[in-house]
């Protein structure tokens, strides 16, 4: 079975590898350079933002995905010979008196229901555990088992794995339309006019999936949500945990670098960092973790998250289009959900029905009353 995968991000690459393990012959088609968009730009936090706001089906998917990471990491690092720098340093959510939303009880209830270890910290304990925090906090919640990884290292390792497994990758290969025969998709036509023959096609093109779906004759409400990030350089240990607040997150790497992110902007594919947003992120740092203020600003970048109206991914076959599949719209959770997405989609495309209920992620679900989890309004 030959499968053409449109999109060379972490989900596309990982799915290609798992398809190869299941006996398929995948080819990855990437419009630019492999893994250069949101998969590269993100912070690599292996925990959703405010998961207690999502339906239970989402947590089940997350739990299954995170459980796969230890073995996946071992295999990736063994084949590639490089570390993805997965680090378990915990997630801390500081609580302020003027927070717009009080997440405390909902977070505690969710953690108890799904078995996520959590600790309630008072002001003294929180500032002792994380001295960089503001003295104005009212306390904090700490999930000590939450991990992170370095996205670029993950993508570099995946590239080496694809090379080692002789999986074909074509960069600068922009998909333009589908090829069909007898009512079934049988390949992809590229922008340069060349044809890629395939028994099945997987659309996993991140923020570009919605536009491509329109070109392919079906609707997929995925659109880009721009996020800007600032990178600080400091000594290791200045920040001990991932710190997440509604205004910003702060992710410390093992080498002392700290990511501050990320904005949520509905501006289409407008690239570049802006003074206004960078200033907002730095003001959030001043209010939440003022202990970072002496760190050096090393770099800034941005990326486009593949947003969906309800914040949930679209996964499964395209109704009424035989041979066409979708794995997109993972929004802020692409890296966390990549292992289970790749596993489910590779099995599903090879004829094995998912072991999990996927109805919450089907392409034809109702997203008309999506609430606050989806992409922001203009």
Q: Is the pLDDT of residue 169 over 70?
A: yes
> Which residue in the block uniquely carries the two structure tokens 């088992």?
145
Question: What whole-number distance in Å separates Cα of residue 231 and Cα of residue 28?
Answer: 31
pLDDT (tens digit per residue) in 263-289: 999 999 999 999 999 999 999 999 999
Q: Is the pLDDT of residue 251 over 90?
A: yes
| Architecture field, domain 91-145+224-307 | 2-Layer Sandwich (3.30)
Instruction: Quickly state the pLDDT bin for 368 (edges 50, 70, 90).
Output: confident
- Give the model's pLDDT for residue 101: 84
Instruction: Quickly state the pLDDT bin for 375 (edges 50, 70, 90).
Output: confident
Neighbouring residues of 102: CB distance < 8 A, sequence distance ≥ 6: 95
**Phi/psi of residue 85, each to 5°?**
55, 50
Question: What whole-number distance in Å separates Cα of residue 274 and Cα of residue 260?
Answer: 15
Kindly report the number of other CB atoms within 10 A of residue 68's CB atom: 14
Percent of the chain with pLDDT over 90: 95
Please check whether the two domains, 2-80+151-222+310-361 and 91-145+224-307, share a CATH topology: no
pTM here is 0.97
Partners of 302 in beta bridges:
228
pLDDT (tens digit per residue) in 304-330: 999 999 999 999 999 999 999 999 999
Fold designation for 2-80+151-222+310-361: FAD/NAD(P)-binding domain (3.50.50)
Question: What whole-number distance in Å separates Cα of residue 306 and Cα of residue 304?
Answer: 6
Three-class SS of residue 131? coil
Q: Where are the domains of the chain?
A: 2-80+151-222+310-361, 91-145+224-307
* Pairing mode, strands 314-317 and 195-197: unpaired
């Amino acid at each position: 079975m030959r499968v053409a995968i449109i999109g060379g991000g972490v989900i596309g690459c990982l799915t290609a590898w798992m398809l190869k393990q299941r006996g398929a012959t995948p080819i990855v088609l990437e419009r630019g350079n492999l893994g250069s968009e949101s998969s590269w730009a993100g912070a690599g936090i292996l925990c959703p933002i405010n998961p207690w706001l999502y339906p239970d089906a989402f947590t089940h998917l997350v739990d299954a995905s995170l459980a796969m990471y230890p073995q996946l990491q071992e295999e990736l690092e063994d084949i590639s010979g490089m570390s993805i720098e997965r680090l378990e340093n915990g997630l801390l959510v500081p609580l302020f008196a003027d927070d717009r939303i009080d997440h405390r009880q909902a977070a505690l209830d969710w953690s108890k229901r799904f078995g996520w270890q959590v600790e309630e910290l008072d002001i003294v304990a929180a500032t002792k555990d994380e001295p960089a925090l503001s003295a104005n906090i009212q306390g904090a919640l700490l999930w000590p088992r939450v991990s992170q990884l370095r996205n670029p290292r993950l993508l570099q390792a995946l590239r080496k794995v694809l090379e080692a497994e002789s999986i074909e990758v074509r960069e600068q290969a922009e998909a333009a339309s589908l090829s069909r025969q007898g009512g079934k998709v049988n390949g992809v036509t590229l922008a340069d006019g060349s044809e890629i023959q395939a028994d099945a096609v997987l659309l996993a093109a991140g923020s570009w999936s919605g536009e491509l779906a329109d070109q392919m004759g079906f609707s997929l409400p995925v659109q880009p949500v721009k996020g800007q990030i600032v990178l600080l350089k400091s000594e290791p240990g200045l920040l001990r945990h991932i710190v997440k607040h509604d205004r910003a997150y702060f992710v410390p790497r093992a080498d002392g670098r700290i990511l501050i992110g990320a904005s949520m902007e509905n501006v289409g594919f407008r690239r570049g960092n802006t003074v206004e947003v960078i200033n907002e992120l730095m003001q959030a740092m001043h209010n939440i973790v003022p202990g970072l203020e002496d760190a050096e600003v090393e770099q800034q970048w941005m990326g486009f998250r593949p947003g969906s109206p309800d914040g949930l991914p679209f996964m499964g076959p395209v109704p009424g289009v035989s041979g066409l599949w979708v794995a997109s719209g993972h929004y802020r959770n692409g890296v966390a959900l990549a292992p289970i997405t790749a596993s489910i989609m590779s099995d599903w495309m090879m004829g094995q029905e998912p072991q999990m209920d996927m109805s919450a992620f089907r392409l034809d679900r109702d997203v008309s009353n999506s609430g606050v989890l989806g992409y922001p309004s203009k």
